Structure formats: C-alpha cells, structure tokens
Structure 1
Amino acid sequence: MAEFTRQLLRSRVCASHIARSRRFFVTHAVPDYSKIAPTVAFSFDIDGVLLRGAQALEEGKAALKLLDQHKIPYILLTNGGGKPESARVAELSEKLGVEISEQQFVQSHTPYKRLVMSYQKVLVIGGPRSGNACRKVAQNYGFKDCVTAADIVAANPAVWPFHSFSGAELQDPTFVRPLSEAPFDAVLVFNDSRDWGTDIQIMMDVLTSKRGKLGTSTAPKREQTVPVYFSNNDLLWANEYSLPRFGQGAFRTAVEQVFEDFTGEKLSSTIIGKPFLFTFEYAHTVLKRWREHKYGYTHDLKHVYMVGDNPESDIRGGNGYGWMTLLVRTGVYRDGDKFDHSMSHVAPSTPSETLDDVLKAVKFGIDNEHKLQHLESS
C-alpha cells in the first residue's frame, strides 16, 4: 500500500501541476509510446465505461483502437456475466470494432474455474433462461453436475408454487434435466437472478439441508451445511435507464436477510468479483499472460490503470490492489457522490483522477505515464 500511495501522490502532483510544470515537458508533447507500452497496461470495466446498456460508446471504441495502435496491452474486467466468455467477447468485438480475445477478458464468474476441483454437484443461480446460459458456463468450466432452479421446480412444482416458469419450459428436455441423488456441494450465483422468489427459496432449501441432500432439513436448529458463492457484489449498475439499477449485490442482501430471519444466524458466504482481492489477483495474472502472448512483453509491469464508473467496485478494488484508478462520468458515478476515504473496507473508493469518459481517461493515463517515466529518468 505504501508503494500505491507513492504512485497516487505522484500521479496527482503531475495532474495538478501540468500548467506550472509545462516548461519541463516541452520536448515531450507527444508521448513516446514505444517506451511506455512495455511497462504499462489498462484494465477496463465494461458497463458504463465502454458500453451504455447494449450500445457501445464512441469514446470506448476510440480508446481501445488507440491502445491497439500503439501496442499498449489491456484487459476487460467486468462484474457482468451470465454467458460463456466466448459468446461475450464475440459480442464485444462486434460492438466495439476491435478484436477482443478470451485471453484478455475476465467476467465476474470466470474465477469460478478455480473451484472445479473442489465441488462436483453445484446449484447454478442466475443468468438468462435462454439457452440455459449459466448451466452451460458451469459445464464449460468443468463442473460435473450442474443443477438449475428450473430442474428442481420441474421435479416438484410445489417447492415454490409462485415460480415464473411456463409449463412448456418445465416439460422441455433441453431446458430442464433430471435430478441425480447426489448431495449438493455448493451454491454458485453466476449472475443476477431472474426470479428472486424461486431462487431464494431453493437456495434456503439447499443451504440448510442435511449435508446437501435436497428435501432434508437441519431443523429445528437450521444450520448452514453448504457453502455459497456470489460472483459479484455490485449494488448498482448502469444501463440505458437514466438512473442506476440494482445488481447482484441487492440480491445478495436479500438472501442474507432471509437466511438470518430463517435461521437466526448470519449467512457465511464467499463474494468474488470487484472490489475483492481474489478477483484482482486473478485479473493481474491474466493481464501479465496476455501482454506477453500478444506483444512479447517480458518487462516488469510498473503501472496498471483501472478505468471504471463505479467507485465501490472498480475504484475501491483497483486501489486495494495497488493499481492507478481513473473514474469516468458515463455510468454509475454522478458528480457530487461521496467517496469513502477510510480503509475500513478493502481500500478507499477515491480515484486517482475523475474524467468525463474512457477516451479522456486513456489519454490521461498515457500522458501521466509519460511524465512519471520522465521524472524517474531525470
């Protein structure tokens, strides 16, 4: 953290004294990208930064093209998910007009790949119904027995009589699967729930079952016997609507409160995604591998700029991992929103700099990196 503080202070000095110090940089008006590129990289949130809802932001297209042109590596690090990585990068490549590789893409549940060796049968929660997207993601990761809420409702609709599944869906063998007798090993929330009532009821049933056996209960004590993972903790996210919308963090809060009311105990859960260290460690490894694969860079990676629109996830997480953080005004954040300056939760949510959009953020980061390198060599 001391190293990050030093970088942060230096960054702010450069930003706040550009006019006063301009005489020192007259001969470096255009950054030498060949010197910057091997030692710097960017990480981008997607919703509210590169996209607004389903539409790509023009500044996002320009920012990525600028980095590709000058061989500056970057990854996309999003708390979104619900689809296979291959499908998501294909959509993003088309929308943004640049080629995005799976090797430079981390969505909220990508780190679940590390859990495959620990769990066999998992309850898969969230994501679009169409095509059983999240079940396919879990299967692609390598989980052996992937069960959805629809499978459980199809086996016994009385489990939650207020479910939203149609009769046709519950009779469709491509949508529901027969249940095995094996106990559940874990509950994995991959994406936002599309049916909170059904999902919360079934999660309670599994979490408080006897050693993961569906249809049993640890009553009267009602103990948690199965672990649960949430793939991100975003309370809010930005789409086409004029105000931010509730995300998976709101669903988690509901699950926790119901569990406490039901059992009298606090839910024990693991939360990944931004801002948590687990995800940033994973993303940093992905970034290092990508820059070497794409450009052959083996130099030390001195600085990473995290560009995001959400102070609570993008900025707090980037600060906590020691990255430089650039906040943009095109998503969740609104001028006048309060930043948390304390260290009580992961790290402060105060950015290194706040800018209008992602293109300005990239140009600021490149210019700032140029100045930092000049200061280090002087």
Structure 2
Amino acid sequence: MAALGKAAARWAPGLWRRAVRAAVWLGGRRFASGGAQSPPTFGLLLDIDGVLVRGHQVIPAAQEAFRWLLDPQGQLRVPVVFVTNAGNISQCTKAEELSAQLGFQVEPDQPLPRNDFPAIEGVLLLGEPVRWETSLQLITDVLLSDGNPGTGLATAPYPHLPVLASNTDLLWMAEAKMPRFGHGTFLLCLEAIYRKLTGRELHYTGLTGKPSLLTYRFAEGLLARQAAQRGWAAPIRSLYAVGDNPMSDVYGANLFHQHLQTQQEGAARSCASILVCTGVYGPQAPGPPVPAPGSEGSPFHGHRDFGFRPELLQAAHVVSDLHEAVRLVLRKEGWAL
C-alpha cells in the first residue's frame, strides 16, 4: 500500500497505467510455434491466489492444468495472462516466484512508454498494509489536512485530494482454512473512518483492478500481443477468465462480456467466467452454509461504487479446480486433450 499526499505525493507520469499493470501479469515466453495444432483463437485470463496458489503453496490441480497448456517442448499452446489484484510485489519478483512454482518460465509484462501527463497530488492505494492502524491514521491525516499533516486545518477540505485505489477484494485466500481480509476490507475501514470524522463520503477518483473494465481491456491487449509475438495470425476471439472470487473474478468477467457485446473495436467477442472451488468460493468450505453467488440472501462483497447486479455474480461454469477448468475450455474449443 502506498499513501501519497502533497508532502510526498507528486507521482510520476503514467499513474493509471502503473495502477493497471500492478494487477496484470503476462505468462509465457516468446516461443516459436510448434506442432500441428492450428493457431488458437482463444486465450486464458487466470487469477493467481486461490486458483494457482494458496499463499506460498502451489495447488496441485494447477500444476496438472499446465500439463495440458504446455507442449512437449515446454511452450504454451495458447496465450495466457495472469490477472491478479495483488499489488504488493513487483512484476519481476512475481514472475520469478510463479516460474519456480509452476515449473516453466513466466515473464512480466514489458513497461509501456511514458506519456507527458501533468503531475498529480493525491493518494494512491495498491494493497492492504501490514500495520492497518498506522496506515489508516496516516491516510486520514493527509486527507483531512489537504496533504499537509504537519500543519493541520481548522476545517477538513472537501472535495478532498484525489484518491485512486487498485484492488477492491474484500477477501482473498492464503494457506489458512478461512479467507483473509483483503484490500477491499481496508478500504471499507478507511471509508467508515472518513465518514465518521467528516460526515461526508470518501470519493474515489478511480478504481482499478478486477472487476473494473479497465483491467480486462488491458489484459485483452496483452493476450493479443502475446499471440502476435508467437506468430499466431488468427485473432483471439474467445476469452476464458478463471477465478475463485465471485465478486472480483466472475463479476468482472461477466461485466467485460457484456461490454464486448456492444463494442466493435478489438478482436475479442466473448469472455466466459469460470469459477473454481479452491479459494474464496468453495461449497465445502468450513463454517455455516453460504448462499450461491447472486442468489437471494447472498451477501454483497463488492465495493460500493461498483453497485450490485446479482446476475453478474452467476458464473458461466463452476468447476472444482483449474485442471477441470482447462479441460473444459479445451473441449469447448475442440482441442485434443
């Protein structure tokens, strides 16, 4: 988590692009095409936590899944992009970590060219901190003092400084049996504190990460670029988004699918949501029964600014794990298993 105010808050040009890139990782090398399989016309958007790993432990089914995604030479058979809301680690470090865990080379996205945007003063929130109370105090000080916490103001300014947040996940899955509080829970605390102190609502200049359309549009571009690097001439028409969190992964994929139905630009025509049961969502999870996503009585875990549309929480497919998800996709696309 990074909190920036006037005293230390003039962030470099390209802020929005960096916020989006913090949520997207590109998987796979630029291998030469091999084998007799026709070029793929589909691509995979894979979540990480709860789909590939639980904390530092690889989910065995994820390793099995890549047996179907890699050819005998260890080359990806289809374009794959890892899309995660976690922004507390650099792309290069995450790529190295995934490479060691999955057993093949994962490369980070290449930085985009910088544009000449004017400097902005405000607050950038990327992920839940270790010491919540200290960070909540610091961010509140910056907002209530208009970026000058050393001086203080008699009246809290409103509108306050711009606030950008990436990752609104209320929960995420690590090694523990129960879900862990995510950055969305931290934002909920910040919103409640600000409202309690000022009587006003905290306003976000923008939200990135899943389920925002901005993240999925960026990921679609990475899939197309990866296909071009591999020499696959066929356009990527169908996207399959695999995740464990109904609110971020399923909601976002369905929202993007609706968006694609109304757009003419770009090659993609569909984005199917696939929900796995190895993370936040799991019918056999300990504790009281949880209503199915989108059903009557199910709690809304999304951020207030995204609104609640129950139909977007309904996954196109619910499977046990990534292995089953990959087999489902390959069968639907008519590829040999």
Whether the TM-score (by the shorter chain) exceeds 0.5 is: yes
User: Residue 40 of structure 2 aligns to a residue in which SS?
Assistant: helix
What does residue 34 of structure 1 align with? 37
- Give yes or no for contact 1:207–1:224 (8 Å, CA) kept in 2: no
Of 165, 185, 193, the residue aligned with 1:250 is 185
Partner of 1:227: 162
CA distance in 2, matches of 1:85, 1:116: 23
TM-score calculated relative to the size of structure 2: 0.73
How far apart, CA to CA, are the structure 2 residues paired with 1:296 and 1:309?
32
Q: Which structure 1 residue ranges, 5 or more long, are not aligned?
A: 1-31, 105-109, 121-184, 372-378
Counterpart residue identity of residue 46, structure 2: F
Report the equivalent of 1:84.
90
Say whether 1:357 aligns with 2:321: yes
Mapped partners of 1:325, 1:186: distance in 2: 34
**Contact 1:65 1:98 (C-alpha < 8 Å) held by counterparts:** no
Report the Cα distance in structure 1 between the residues aligned to 2:142 and 2:95, rounded to whole angstroms. 33
Query: Structure 1 CA distance, aligned partners of 2:178 and 2:115?
Result: 35
1:87-98 correspondence runs (5 A) = 87-98=93-104
State the shift of 1:223 in Å: 2.2
Query: TM-score, length-normalised on structure 1?
Result: 0.65
Aligned to 1:117: 117
Point out which structure has higher relative CO (alpha carbons under 8 A, 6+ apart).
Answer: 2
Query: Which of structures 1 and 2 has the bigger CA Rg?
Result: 1
Provide the residue aligned with 2:237 in structure 1.
302
Per-residue deviation at 1:82?
0.8
1:57–1:33 distance in 2 versus 1, CA, 3 Å: farther
Partner residue in 1 for 2:59: 57
Q: Quote the sequence identity (%).
A: 32
Asked if the contact 2:85/2:167 (under 8 Å) is kept, the reply is yes
**1:290 Cα deviation after fit:** 1.6
Q: Does structure 2 retain, via aligned residues, the 8 Å contact 1:280–1:321?
A: yes
Label 1:213 to 1:186 Cα distance change in 2 as closer, same or farther (>3 A).
same
Is 1:203 matched up with 2:203?
A: no
Provide the C-alpha distance between the structure 2 equivalents of 1:308 and 1:221, rounded to a whole number of angstroms: 41
Mean alpha-carbon deviation: is it higher for 303-312 or for 215-224? 215-224
Task: Pick one of 242, 254, 272 that aligns with 2:208.
Answer: 272
- The amino acid of 1:76's aligned partner reads F
Conserved? CA contact 1:190–1:231, under 8 Å? yes
Residues 358 and 228 of structure 1: is their aligned pair in 2 closer, same or farther, counting only changes over 3 Å? same
**Greater shift after overlay, 269-278 or 219-228?**
219-228
Aligned pairs, number: 267
CA gap of 1:97–1:201, structure 2 versus 1, over 3 A, is: same
AA in 1 matched with 2:228: E
Matches within 5 A, 1:61-210: 61-69=63-71, 71-103=77-109, 117-119=117-119, 185-210=121-146
Counterpart of 2:272 in structure 1 is 324
Unpaired segments ≥5 residues, structure 2: 1-34, 258-270, 284-289, 297-305
Query: In the TM superposition, what is the alpha-carbon distance from 1:239 to its structure 2 partner?
Result: 0.9
Shift of 1:33: 8.0
Change (3 A) 1:221 1:103: closer
Q: CA deviation at 1:285?
A: 1.3
How far apart are the structure 2 equivalents of 1:367 and 1:340? 27
Helix, strand or coil: the match of 1:370? coil
SS, match of residue 268 in structure 1: coil
Are the equivalent residues in 1 in contact too, given 2:247–2:313 (CA < 8 A)?
yes
Tell whether 2:312 aligns with 1:348: yes
Distance 1:203 1:355, change over 3 A: same
Question: Alpha-carbon deviations, 1:305-345, whole Å to 9, x = none?
Answer: 00111110011101111110111111110225422279954
Is the contact made by 1:63 and 1:358 (CA closer than 8 Å) also made in structure 2? yes
Offset of residue 116 of structure 1: 8.5
> 1:2-46, CA deviations, whole angstroms, 9 ceiling, x for partnerless residues?
xxxxxxxxxxxxxxxxxxxxxxxxxxxxxx9824x4201101001
Distance 1:82 1:200 in 2: 17
C-alpha distance in structure 2 between counterparts of 1:356 and 1:33, whole Å = 31
8 A Cα contact 1:223 1:263, kept in partner: no
Partner of 1:240: 175
Contact 2:144 2:156 in 1 (8 A): no
What does the per-residue CA deviation read over 1:113-168, in whole Å, with 9 as the maximum and x for residues that have no partner? 98983546xxxxxxxxxxxxxxxxxxxxxxxxxxxxxxxxxxxxxxxxxxxxxxxx
Task: State the alpha-carbon separation in 1 of the partners of residues 210 and 40 from structure 2.
Answer: 26
Which residue type is aligned with residue 274 of structure 2? L
The whole-number CA distance in structure 1 between the counterparts of 2:66 and 2:151 is: 52
Tell me the SS of whatever aligns to 1:298. coil
Q: Give the structure 2 partner of residue 291 of structure 1.
A: 227
